[in-house]
C-alpha cells in the first residue's frame, strides 16, 4: 500500500437494478490531515455488506423516512461500509496511534474521524476500539461485528427458542444467517437453512451442523420442501429475504410462532424507479435499538467463538481496487460467510 496517497471509491452512478462495477469511481489525492479533536485512521479491512445496496439509491419520497440523518451515500460520496483500521495520528486524547478501531468509515484507504461523526446511529461514540482479547481482527467485522450482534440479539429478543422447536433461516450461508442458525442449534432447536446453491447447502450441513438444508433454486416446490424439512411445523423464521419466500415459510407457522424480519434481500437489487415502500419494513429488527447490550453480547459471541461453538468462514480480497467487483459478486449471491477486502496489513 502507498502511504502517501489517499484512495477512495465514490458513487459514480445510482445503480439501475443489480449494481455494476461502472457504478463506482476510484479517486486519489493527498492523505487527509486530522484537525483539533480528530484522528487519522488507515483502513486494514473493509466489510462487503448487502445492506449497502439500499444506500446506493437516491433519496426519494418513498425512502426518505428511512434516512432521518440524510443519505449515507450520494453521487461523488465515499461508499459507506464497516471498516477495521489502525489509528495513525491523533489529536484526540482517547485514541492513540496504534489503536485498532472499527466504524462506518467507507471504501477508502484513510479516514479522518471526529468522534461522533461516523456511525452515529450504530455507535453513539462514532467509532470504537477493538479488543483483540475478544477475537482476531477480521472477526470484529463478522461474528463480533454488526452481523453477529444482529443474530444474537434478534434471537434474544424475538427468537426466544426452546429445545425441540424448529427454526428456519433464509440466506442461511451469509454471515448473519449462518451465525443465527448456529445460535439456534445451541439453543436446542432443529435448524433448517434455505440457500441458493448446493455448495452453500453442503457448507451449512457439513461445517455448521444445520439439521436440514434446502436449495431454493433447484427444489421446485418450496412449500413442499419446507413441509418435508419441518414435519412439526415452523416455530421461528429468521428472515433475511422477505417477499414470496417469506410468505411460503410463514404459511407453515405453528401457533405462537415468531418472525424476525432481518432483511429483504429479494428486493435489494430493485432500482429506485422500481422500489415501492413495503410493509415488510414494518417491524423489521434493528440491532441499533440495542446498543446498550453490545458489550455483553460481544463477550458472549467471543466466548462461543473461542470454544469453537460458532464459526464463520471469511474470504478476503486483496487490494482496495477489488471492492466493487466483490460487492457485485456478493449481490449476485456468490458469497459464503463474510467477504472482506484487505486494504493494508495489520500492524499487530
* Spatial separation of the C-alpha atoms in residues 286 and 147, rounded to whole Å: 11
* Sites in the chain below the pLDDT cut of 50: 1, 119-120, 122, 124-125, 277, 279
Decide if 144 contacts 134 (C-beta within 8 A): yes
Beta carbons within 8 Å of 10's beta carbon, 6+ residues apart: 24, 25, 27, 75, 76, 77, 78, 79
Interval 90-147: pLDDT, tens: 999 989 999 999 988 999 999 998 865 554 454 544 688 899 999 999 999 999 999 9
DSSP 110: E
Say what percent of the chain tops pLDDT 90.
Answer: 69
Residue 39 CB neighbours (<10 A): 24
Strand locations in the chain, DSSP E?
A: 6-11, 24-29, 38-48, 83-90, 100-103, 110-114, 128-129, 166-170, 190-195, 212-215, 234-239, 253-261, 314-318, 338-342
pLDDT of residue 96: 94
Confidence (pLDDT) at 281: 57
In a 3-state reduction of DSSP, which class is residue 298? helix
For residue range 203-235, list pLDDT tens digits in order.
Answer: 999 999 999 999 999 999 999 999 999 999 999
User: Three cell numbers at 15?
Assistant: 445503480
Tell how far CA 109 is from the center of its chain: 20
**Which residue ranges make up each domain of the chain?**
6-141+313-342, 146-307
What's the fold here for domain 6-141+313-342?
A: Quinone Oxidoreductase; Chain A, domain 1 (3.90.180)
pLDDT at 57: 81
Kindly tell me the burial class for residue 129, based on how many C-beta atoms sit within 10 Å of its own C-beta (0-12, 13-18, 19 or more).
Answer: middle
Indicate yes or no: pTM above 0.75: yes
Spatial separation of the C-alpha atoms in residues 22 and 169, rounded to whole Å? 33
| Yes or no: domain 146-307 corresponds to CATH 3.40.50.720 | yes
Amino acid at each position: 500500500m502507498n502511504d502517501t496517497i489517499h484512495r477512495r471509491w465514490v458513487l459514480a452512478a445510482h445503480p439501475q437494478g443489480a449494481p455494476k462495477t461502472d457504478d463506482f469511481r476510484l479517486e486519489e489525492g493527498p492523505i487527509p490531515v486530522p484537525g483539533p479533536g480528530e484522528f487519522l485512521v488507515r483502513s486494514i479491512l473493509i466489510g462487503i455488506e448487502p445492506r449497502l445496496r439500499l444506500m446506493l439509491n437516491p433519496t426519494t419520497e418513498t425512502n426518505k423516512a428511512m434516512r432521518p440523518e440524510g443519505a449515507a451515500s450520494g453521487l461523488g460520496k465515499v461508499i459507506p461500509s464497516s471498516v477495521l483500521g489502525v489509528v495513525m495520528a491523533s489529536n484526540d486524547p482517547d485514541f492513540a496511534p496504534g489503536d485498532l478501531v472499527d466504524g462506518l468509515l467507507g471504501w477508502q484507504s484513510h479516514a479522518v474521524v471526529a468522534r461522533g461523526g461516523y456511525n452515529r446511529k450504530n455507535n453513539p461514540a462514532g467509532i470504537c476500539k477493538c479488543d483483540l482479547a475478544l477475537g482476531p481482527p477480521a472477526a470484529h467485522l463478522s461474528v463480533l461485528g454488526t452481523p453477529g450482534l444482529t443474530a444474537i440479539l434478534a434471537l434474544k429478543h424475538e427468537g426466544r427458542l426452546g429445545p425441540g422447536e424448529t427454526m428456519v433461516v433464509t440466506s442461511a450461508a451469509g454471515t448473519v444467517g449462518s451465525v443465527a442458525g448456529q445460535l439456534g442449534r445451541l439453543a436446542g432447536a432443529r435448524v433448517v437453512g434455505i440457500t441458493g446453491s448446493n455448495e452453500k447447502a453442503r457448507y451449512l450441513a457439513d461445517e455448521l451442523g444445520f439439521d436440514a438444508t434446502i436449495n431454493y433454486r433447484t427444489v421446485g416446490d418450496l412449500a413442499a420442501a419446507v413441509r418435508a424439512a419441518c414435519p412439526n411445523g415452523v416455530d421461528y423464521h429468521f428472515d433475511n429475504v422477505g417477499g414470496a419466500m417469506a410468505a411460503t415459510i410463514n404459511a407453515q407457522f405453528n401457533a405462537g410462532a415468531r418472525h424476525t424480519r432481518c432483511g429483504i434481500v429479494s428486493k435489494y437489487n430493485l432500482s429506485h424507479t422500481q422500489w415501492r415502500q413495503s410493509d415488510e419494513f414494518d417491524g423489521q429488527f434493528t440491532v441499533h435499538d440495542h446498543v446498550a447490550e453490545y458489550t455483553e453480547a460481544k463477550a458472549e459471541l467471543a466466548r462461543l467463538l473461542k470454544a469453537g461453538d460458532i464459526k464463520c468462514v471469511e474470504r478476503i480480497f486483496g487490494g482496495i481496487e477489488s471492492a466493487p467487483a466483490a460487492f457485485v459478486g456478493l449481490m449476485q449471491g456468490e458469497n459464503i460467510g463474510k467477504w472482506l477486502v484487505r486494504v493494508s496489513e495489520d500492524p499487530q
